Amino acid sequence: MNSNHYIIDSCSLMELNRHIPADVFPGVWEKIESLIIKGLMLAPREVLNEIMQGDDQLAKWAKNHNKMFVEPTEKQIEIVKDILKEFPALIKQNRKYDADPWVIALAVELATSSQQTLTHIKRVVVTEEKLRGEQIKIPLVCQKYKIDTIDILDLFRIEGWKFYGR
């Protein structure tokens, strides 16, 4: 049996909030919440920090779903150091928070954990960033670590979610 675990970037949650807000499309957000409750969607604490810079509906939502945001481990700190050694342009110097290396580090740590399970668990990064040549963005760095990346609509398709208006 296969199972996907999703590590979501702040840009995906921000895009979702911008175009599919919870007060208008509650069913979409209920599906996201079901993944969180099952432990199938996580994000590093740095994603929460980026979201909390805005005082909006997403920030309020994130506070109520604090369980999905995980603290960095020693292994993640080492992975981030390795990532930034090879890809220093991944972080933007003028930003207070930059979750990108932490999103990748969480995915890499989970993908390489030695936890034994009867099911094959695939770790997938959800981001709105796209692979564009050699631009140093999440998809390029994930490629090096053999981590798949998808966008939020791909997640809907993979999970088989359909939303119908009334």
Q: Is residue 165 part of a domain?
A: no
pLDDT attached to residue 55: 78
Q: Is residue 164 part of a domain?
A: no
Closest CA to 16 of 55, 79, 61, 52: 61
pLDDT attached to residue 114: 58
Answer yes or no: are the C-beta atoms of 13 and 35 closer than 8 Å.
Answer: no
pLDDT attached to residue 24: 92
For the chain, list residues with pLDDT below 70: 1-2, 114-120, 165-166
**Overall domain count for the chain:** 1
Q: Is residue 166 part of a domain?
A: no
Round to the nearest angstrom and report the end-to-end CA distance of the chain.
35
39: left (phi over 0), alpha (psi -120 to 50) or beta: left
Which pair of structure tokens corresponds to residue 104? 């990748």
Amino acid at 2: N
Q: Is residue 118 part of a domain?
A: yes
| pTM, to two decimals | 0.91
pLDDT attached to residue 128: 96
CATH number of the domain that residue 49 is part of: 3.40.50.1010
Residue range(s) defining the domain that contains residue 82? 2-159
Q: Is residue 71 part of a domain?
A: yes
What percentage of the chain's residues is helix, strand, coil (to nearest 5)?
50, 15, 35
71 contacts: CB under 8 Å, gap ≥ 6: 45
In the numeric block, the tokens 């949650």 are attached to 13
Q: Is residue 21 part of a domain?
A: yes
Cα angle 43-158-56, degrees, rounded to a multiple of 5: 40
